[in-house]
A and B are shown apart, each in its own frame.
Chain A
Amino acid sequence: MSDEMSKPFDKSALTHEELLKINRERKIQITAFACMIFLTLLAFIAVAMEMIAPGFTVPFILLLAVVQFALQLFYFMHLKDKDHEWPNAFMLTGIVVSTPAVIALILLLGVTKY
């Protein structure tokens, strides 16, 4: 049995529904990718344009980053999919644990130098 595992096979074992689902998934991936490129372009433009004040640029880029982070997680890393409760839980734990640490470090090391 184990010897046959390395043999190539010509006919896919997927059903028609599964193939359709994969096609749909592919479309979603490409859309998400295009969306993210657009967000990145916006960020670049915001930095490059001199007429946009830095007071606006910084929070704007941060907002874009948050949106893109969510898109990455949910679309590229499949957190939106079914049966992804465990990866979801781990990602959420990581965010919950690291956010206060990062904020504390920014405040302590960046502002008071301790």
Chain B
Amino acid sequence: MEEPRKDILDFLKKQGFLNEKTRLQDNDSLSETGVIDSITLLQLIDFLEEKYKVQIPVEMITPENFDTLAGISQSVIKLKNG
């Protein structure tokens, strides 16, 4: 799970103005901690689809799957492993 997690954090640092000092826990809510809004979320989905060559089905994009580092990483791994 380390690889998507690191890529997501790098993306958020680059695009989402996530402060270098911010320590996000795997199950912290990205929306409630103010790290992402709807536009950043859509950018992140584009980034992950491109990076991991996967198609993220719209039904999968829910707060349960896409509001935490753990949830997003697991979703990407699940798609990658088919």
Are these two chains actual partners, yes or no? no
| A interface with B by C-beta (< 8 Å) | none
